Structure 1
Amino acid sequence: MSRYPAAVDVAIVGSGPAGATYARILSEEAPDAAIAMFEVGPTVSDPPGAHVKNIEDADRRAEAQRRSEGPGAGEATVNNPGAVTSGMRRARPGTYLLSDGYQADGEDGLPVAAFSSNVGGMAAHWTGACPRPGGSERISFLPDLDDLLDEGDRLLGVTTDAFDSAPFTALVRERLAAVVDDDRDVAARVQRMPLAVHRREDGRLVWSGSDVVLGDVTRANPNFSLFDESLVTRVLVEEGRAAGVEVRDLRTGEIHEVRARTVVVAADALRTPQVLWESGIRPAALGRMLNDQAQVVYAARLRGVEPPAHDQIAASGTLSEQSGVSWVPFTDDMPFHGQIMQLDASPVPLAHDDPVIPGSIVGLGLFCAKDLQWDDRVEFSDSERDSYGMPAMRLHYTLTERDHEVLERARIEIVELAKAVGEPIGDRPFTMPLGASLHYQGTTRMGETDDGRSVCGPDSEVWGVPGLFVAGNGVIPTPTACNPTLTSVALAVRGARRIARDRNSSLLMSD
């Protein structure tokens, strides 16, 4: 007997923050709608979708990460970005690399393009950074963007005060502000990083995953069901509109059809277009405008600080909280986004007679906005298959002359920021291998009109396929440098409200 329902009102493909947003908003605004969520990976945390950093036992946390690595489980991973050298291809714990097709001849490619396969998606492993887009990062044709971002903050549980008690956090911001804030609008000045994290009464930090987005209202919704280890192989389309999904039960290998009035594909920016392609839904813009964020990292040792009077409670069981997380917002004049936070340890050896004050080694990261190109894309094969039996993907990705200029500016700027904070560590900053940001965007991009350059409209409904919605970072149409999760959740709010509104209207008409 199948564990899946024969029919639902809404089928959601993917359990990351964007997919979870659809389930949450529909549970709040259309509670009678039957919702089925399908996730290719296993449940690795409790409650389902919770961040693995909240697992206090190190062995259990490592096991949850390993089970999230899909077909790449057991392969080499790296914890500290400073340990990655040029040409090294290693995934972060909880993720696995695209094994082939990540770089075409003569192109830059995305050598460390990676995925996670688990309930909660990448939100079970992320840093929780939720900055708001600014300047050209913003989507100009959405007049309600700020309201949507506010709702995204609510769903993700975003706070800015979780690290206020860290002894060095104000000092780091003051030193950064001294070299950054002149001539900047207030909103673009150095500030606390908005984070999807809250502090419990006992002082420990709790990082948000999809469990927080789903919330109690979704978990208590009798009309909501979550099915893990379930691969959606294609969207069913009948008479031009979405009609359901085909699902392979990875526990048994059996294939089932689940009928649905509405389908939301929120797999990720590479696997969402893969599902559409396999379904025969192939608009011209599908997979195009692939957008990553090149990343430059460096480290500095805080100068003139004294050891804290007492250790703070660990943020993840291992990291002593001293320096907090600071944000240098993107601007069009300075087209990168800065994230400054302490490191567990120095990325380079220090002298044995030079003891390190806890929390005094800070890492600096600048994410660069990409010059969008039509030919930066993910392609899918009609003959070759990946480890899940889906169309094999090949990435085409090239940095433009402007991209190289922005990267060089970032290398110069990060040195100045490191000097402002303290004493730079190492001879030069390190440019991460392309794909390391895990912030892939644009492949199912939103557009104001159906002009052939976008996949979906302002409500995330796919052009020409009523009832089919796409969600996640791939929907973001602008070149961004800031972490994209808050924006993708905000766009999912808009799409979910549209579904709820249409459903509620049809119910009123039928009464």
Structure 2
Amino acid sequence: MNPAAVDDASRYPAEVDVAIVGSGPTGAAYARILSEEAPGFTIAMFEAGPTVSDPPGAHVKNIEDPARRSAAQRASEGPGAGADTVSSPGAVKSGDRRARPGTFLLDDGYAFPGEDGLPVAAMSTNVGGMSAHWTAACPRPGGSERIAFLPDLDELLDEADRLLGVTTDAFDGSPFGAVVRERLAAVVDDDRAPAARVQRMPLAVHRRADGRLVWSGSDVVLGEATRANPDFELHDESLVTRVLVDDAGRAAGVEVRDRRSGETHTVRARAVVVAGDALRTPQLLWASGIRPPALGRYLNDQAQVVFASRIRDAERLAPAAARDQVAAAGALSEQSGVSWVPFTDDVPFHGQIMQLDASPVPLADDDPVVPGSIVGLGLFCAKDLQPDDRVEFAEDATDAYGMPAMRIHYRLTDRDHAVIDRAREEIVRLGAAVGEPIDSRPFTMPPGASLHYQGTTRMGETDDGESVCTPDSELWSAPGVYVAGNGVIPTATACNPTLTSVALAVRGARRIATSLASK
């Protein structure tokens, strides 16, 4: 196909090889792999939200000025900007229904009588999606978290590491990091395989030559290969309202509404990638009349238990320079780093231990005498997957974007409650190993707090009605339409899902590159 022909009446191309809906890390992964492996393919990426950073898609933590950082977060909150559901100090402890900065909540439809619902199910609308706001944790799945029918999973995860810029040494200079891991290991590592022992958290973070930390967003995933690709275009404030299919049910393009002008345009495409989150990807497919039986089902969140502990003997352990350090506004004090307690099938939760100023969950005020000496502990629990946990869409109501309104049905099973109870006991044990607990009782976050929603466009080995897409992320029911994001993950995971989602996107992008090249 020739380079995209541009309609004079539109800022959009009339036709491309690949249309990508969503600019988060998985949409960016499709653009990057196609730019590297299929030069000459025309690619258009559409994002409903605005550009909030420079370069586009960068993490807001990289914005040094606090006022500009806050402005970028507000611009990402879509219809929630300025709402009373935006987070404030103390919201977690009080149990208020609040969203983290940079995200917004559903106005309604998040819970129904007799169900737990997902009261703090959150989204963001901006170039880069949630990767402009995330904690950048990129652990690998283990045990039953892994997708057994993908023989190339490890190679795909390696590639995801490359795209996200994952490192394990960004916090090696933190004076408390080794102490935290040593104390955790003493109560965790017995009888565990080496890969499942306490270790540094793999993070999509690197350190610049001047010593400053840089957090990866979609900008890192896109990379120079995509930015330098003359056949790639990123269109912000562009809401895709329908995926188009031809008479044979194959991908034909998208309808996109220019949110600046209000006009709607058609962009033809040989392949379409829907790379929204686990709530809005099925929403778009449903609105497009693409409604396989498993669409929206197997919705799962990771129940999250949190705790805070002050590192024992911090004054003695911290070097004088660390005791005197005062963190700049919004910056990390970099004292205790980020540590990882991996999931195992016997211990079905994933542990993330980090200093409070790195955590999105405020549990206590940090120690002014020894910065970084109060750490937050979080355990994420694997869900007991159920097909009736689902997001549905209204025929007669719309959301703030004019798309079908969401209705979430979600219950915690007896097994889920048992795992949460066990996690509460375990996190107290881990907190005591690290130091002195700030509060004797752990806090169980309201459902939806993890932001790790999965399963709604799940991958399957066969078209058995229980999955939405193939092992290459192509819809069983609409060839040439691909799905991306955490919703594709079919397993019950406890670890942060982004690395796995990007790995699956790599596989899908390679499939597009080979399939379109042969036509």
TM over 0.5: yes
Which amino acid counterpart does residue 56 of structure 2 have in structure 1? P
Q: Is 1:310 matched up with 2:321?
A: yes
Q: Tell me the secondary structure at the aligned position of residue 310 of structure 1.
A: helix
Cα offset, 1:49, TM superposition: 0.2
Q: Is 1:276 matched up with 2:289?
A: no
Cα offset, 1:343, TM superposition: 1.1
Aligned partner (choices 363, 380, 388) of residue 347 of structure 1: 363
Aligned residue for 2:406? 393
Structure 2 distance, partners of 1:434, 1:34, is: 41
Aligned residue for 2:458? 445
Which amino acid counterpart does residue 484 of structure 1 have in structure 2? P
Aligned partner (choices 464, 479, 497) of residue 484 of structure 1: 497
Residues 349 and 440 from structure 1, CA distance in 2 versus in 1: closer, same or farther, beyond 3 angstroms?
closer
Which amino acid counterpart does residue 258 of structure 1 have in structure 2? V
Contact 1:54 1:316 in 2 (8 A): no
Which amino acid counterpart does residue 289 of structure 2 have in structure 1? G
Contact 1:204 1:313 in 2 (8 A): no
Aligned residue for 1:95? 103
Cα offset, 1:499, TM superposition: 0.5
Identity within the alignment, %: 78
Aligned partner (choices 167, 190, 194) of residue 182 of structure 1: 190
Which amino acid counterpart does residue 451 of structure 2 have in structure 1? L
Residues 315 and 200 from structure 1, CA distance in 2 versus in 1: closer, same or farther, beyond 3 angstroms?
farther
Q: Tell me the secondary structure at the aligned position of residue 481 of structure 1.
A: coil
Residues 362 and 389 from structure 1, CA distance in 2 versus in 1: closer, same or farther, beyond 3 angstroms?
same
Q: Tell me the secondary structure at the aligned position of residue 337 of structure 1.
A: strand
Aligned residue for 1:333? 346
Contact 2:308 2:364 in 1 (8 A): no
Contact 1:203 1:313 in 2 (8 A): no
Aligned residue for 2:228? 220
Q: Is 1:465 matched up with 2:474?
A: no
Residues 18 and 10 from structure 1, CA distance in 2 versus in 1: closer, same or farther, beyond 3 angstroms?
same
Q: Is 1:384 matched up with 2:393?
A: no
Aligned residue for 2:438? 425
Cα offset, 1:179, TM superposition: 0.2
Q: Is 1:27 matched up with 2:35?
A: yes
Q: Tell me the secondary structure at the aligned position of residue 281 of structure 2.
A: helix
Q: Deviations over 1:43-86 (max 9, x none)?
A: 00000000000000000000000000000001232266x64245
Aligned residue for 2:417? 404
Q: Is 1:241 matched up with 2:250?
A: yes
> What TM-score do you get using the length of structure 2 for normalisation?
0.95
Contact 1:86 1:433 in 2 (8 A): no
Q: Deviations over 1:360-414 (max 9, x none)?
A: 1000000000000010000001110000000000000000000000000000000
Cα offset, 1:88, TM superposition: 1.2
Structure 2 distance, partners of 1:109, 1:465, is: 30
Structure 2 distance, partners of 1:435, 1:342, is: 22
Please list, as runs of the form range in 1=range in 2, the aligned pairs for 1:13-412 lying within 5 A after superposition: 13-76=21-84, 77-78=86-87, 83-85=91-93, 87-239=95-247, 240-306=249-315, 307-311=318-322, 317-344=330-357, 347-348=363-364, 356-412=369-425
Q: Tell me the secondary structure at the aligned position of residue 320 of structure 2.
A: coil
Structure 1 distance, partners of 2:329, 2:165, is: 18
Structure 1 distance, partners of 2:157, 2:474, is: 19
Structure 2 distance, partners of 1:79, 1:157, is: 31
Q: Tell me the secondary structure at the aligned position of residue 55 of structure 2.
A: coil
Structure 2 distance, partners of 1:18, 1:411, is: 33
Residues 411 and 19 from structure 1, CA distance in 2 versus in 1: closer, same or farther, beyond 3 angstroms?
same
Q: Deviations over 1:149-186 (max 9, x none)?
A: 00000000000000000001000000000000000000
Structure 2 distance, partners of 1:91, 1:355, is: 27
Which amino acid counterpart does residue 399 of structure 2 have in structure 1? D
> What TM-score do you get using the length of structure 1 for normalisation?
0.96
Residues 150 and 315 from structure 1, CA distance in 2 versus in 1: closer, same or farther, beyond 3 angstroms?
farther
Q: Is 1:413 matched up with 2:429?
A: no
Alignment gaps of 5+ in structure 2 = 1-8
Number of residues paired by the alignment?
502
Q: Deviations over 1:459-479 (max 9, x none)?
A: 000002110000000000000
Q: Tell me the secondary structure at the aligned position of residue 153 of structure 1.
A: helix
Cα offset, 1:426, TM superposition: 0.8
Structure 2 distance, partners of 1:133, 1:336, is: 11
Structure 2 distance, partners of 1:421, 1:380, is: 45
Contact 1:199 1:206 in 2 (8 A): yes
Structure 2 distance, partners of 1:295, 1:373, is: 18
